[in-house]
Amino acid sequence: MKKSIMLMALLLIGSWSYAQEKSAIKWYSFEEATALSEENPKMLIVDVYTDWCGWCKKMDKETFTDDRVISYLNENFYAVKLDAENSKETFDFKGEEYTEASMARAMRVTSYPNFVIIDATMENITQLPGYRKPDAFISDLKATLQRFTGEE
């Protein structure tokens, strides 16, 4: 009986600590991110991807699970995932109706993955195309913030 109680306690502690350590990027819909930016201005980073894109999947698996990337994105951006081939659901942006696919075209995205940076006034300011390892991704994001806001 004591062994059973001890084992249960260890399992609970282990699962609790694992849940506490597991962080993730807070992904928003396009509409959620723009509304949040109106309340608390921050840039948006839009991850434009496709389901068939191997480099997109590599970003999801390796870069977007890195604790430093997660922390940096969550602190400095509203992150949005945008499927460049999704024509089903619509959303409003600046008085126009878009699908994810039509928004990707409007942002002139032609390769994947592609990260479109939108400033707090909802203007596209730059794109960061292609796969990036965590250190390079953070470095590029810091350089972008420095260039357009003077912040790091």
Which residue ranges make up each domain of the chain? 24-149
Give the closest residue to 85 by CA, choosing from 104, 61, 59.
Answer: 104
Whether cis (ω within 30° of 0) applies to the bond prior to 41 is no
Q: How far apart are CA 95 and CA 102, in angstroms?
A: 14
Whether cis (ω within 30° of 0) applies to the bond prior to 113 is yes
Given a contact cutoff of 8 angstroms between Cβ atoms, the answer to whether 82 and 46 are in contact is yes
Pairing type for strands 96-99 and 90-93 reads antiparallel
At 6-55, the pLDDT tens digits run 545 555 555 554 445 679 999 999 999 999 999 999 999 999 999 999 99
Q: Which residues make beta-bridge pairs with 126?
A: 117
At 85-136, the pLDDT tens digits run 999 989 999 899 999 999 999 999 999 999 999 998 999 999 999 999 999 9
Give the closest residue to 44 by CA, choosing from 71, 69, 79.
Answer: 79
CATH H-level superfamily of 24-149: Glutaredoxin (3.40.30.10)
To the question of pTM greater than 0.85 for the whole model, the response is: no
Residues in Cβ contact with 87 at an 8 Å cutoff, skipping those fewer than 6 apart: 99, 100, 101, 102
How far is C-alpha 85 from the chain's CA centre?
18
